[in-house]
Amino acid sequence: MHRLFLALVLGLSVAACTEEDPAALFADVSYQVRCLDCEPRTADGPERDLAVVDGDGASLRCESNGGLVSLEIETEDYAFKIMNARLGNDPGSQCEVRVKEGINEYRGFCKPEGSDDEQPCEVELTADGSGFMGRVFCSQIRHHLTASLFRYVVAPGTNDEPAEVVASGCAGL
């Protein structure tokens, strides 16, 4: 009886020692909201090269639910969100990209990278441990209140290169 009890205690101790803490929630995103062929012509948004930890001047949320991932980075001045995307080369019909600069917010649904689909945002995300990495490119993503206003979401300073996204420590991954 004592040996069984000792084996049980030893087994629980070993299991407790091998349990790892979850990875810290972190996002690294590099993008710019640009007015490449919009009318009337306006200034581009600032180049954003974010390395964000939740609570460090920004609200950060990253999770996987039902096979769909979401990443949301938000401050008073800007926001970058990928919502309900499937990992892989087809983000699915529920995927949406939202970017905000100041008071202006632009929203667009997703399509696979290189697709002829009419949706404005190409999204490809690949699983990477407790997170994902990938690329986002939006061509003529529309203003959420005025459909005639649109912008591009690209890598900073480029016209047609996708923004880079890395997230780790996402709940559910």
Dihedral (CA of 145, 66, 85, 98) sign? positive
Residue 146 is given by DSSP the state -
Peptide bond into 120 cis (omega under 30): no
Say how many C-beta atoms besides its own lie within 10 A of residue 18's C-beta: 7
HSE-up (13 A, CA, CB side) for residue 137: 14
**pLDDT tens profile 17-30:** 445 666 789 999 99
Q: Is the model's pLDDT at 15 over the cut of 60?
A: no
**pLDDT tens profile 55-69:** 778 999 999 999 999
Average pLDDT over residues 1-17: 38
Q: Identify the CA nearest to 164 among candidates 24, 25, 46, 32.
A: 32
More confidently predicted of 11 and 107: 107
Q: Kindly report the average pLDDT of the chain as a whole number.
A: 88
pLDDT, position 66: 94
pLDDT, position 114: 87
Query: pTM for the full model?
Result: 0.86
CA 63 from chain centre, in angstroms, equals: 10
Query: Is-contact 162 155, C-beta < 8 A?
Result: yes
**pLDDT tens profile 112-171:** 988 899 999 999 999 999 999 999 999 999 999 999 999 999 999 999 999 999 999 999
